[in-house]
């Protein structure tokens, strides 16, 4: 009987540890300066968080596109630092 009880406790401890690793609340979206500036200039904003590899810190990649049609230009930012500007379309 003792062996069964200790096995059940080990399973319960594992389940609790696993549950603690799963976030229960949705991540709060904090508006960045890039997003604020993009929206105030009438641009379309998009963002994503990526990890180049498993142990790397996450990187925030943001894109702001302004203009329409052939005159649309987009700027991509990596952790708030502007990268290249390119034309869409």
The separation between CA 18 and the C-alpha centre of its own chain, rounded to angstroms, equals: 22
Q: What is the mean pLDDT of the chain?
A: 76
Whether 80 and 34 have beta carbons less than 8 Å apart is answered as: yes
| pLDDT surpassing 70 at residue 32 | yes
Look at residue 86 and tell me whether its pLDDT is greater than 60.
Answer: yes
43 neighbors 64 (Cβ within 8 angstroms): yes
Are 80 and 33 contacting, i.e. CB atoms less than 8 angstroms apart? yes
Please tell me the distance from the alpha carbon of residue 86 to that of residue 44, in angstroms, as a whole number.
14
Asked whether the predicted pLDDT for residue 24 surpasses 50, the reply is no
Lowest mean pLDDT among 4-8, 38-42, 50-54: 4-8
Place of tokens 């406790």: 9
- pTM of full prediction above 0.85: no
Give the confidence band of 26 by pLDDT, cuts at 50, 70, 90: very low
């Amino acid at each position: 009987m003792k062996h069964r009880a200790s096995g059940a406790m080990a399973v319960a401890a594992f389940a609790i540890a696993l549950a603690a690793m799963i976030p229960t609340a949705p991540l709060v979206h904090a508006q960045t300066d890039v997003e604020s500036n993009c929206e105030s200039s009438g641009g379309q904003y998009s963002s994503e968080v990526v990890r180049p590899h498993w142990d790397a810190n996450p990187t925030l990649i943001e894109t702001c596109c302004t203009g329409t049609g052939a005159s649309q230009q987009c700027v991509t930012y990596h952790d708030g630092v502007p990268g290249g500007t390119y034309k869409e379309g």
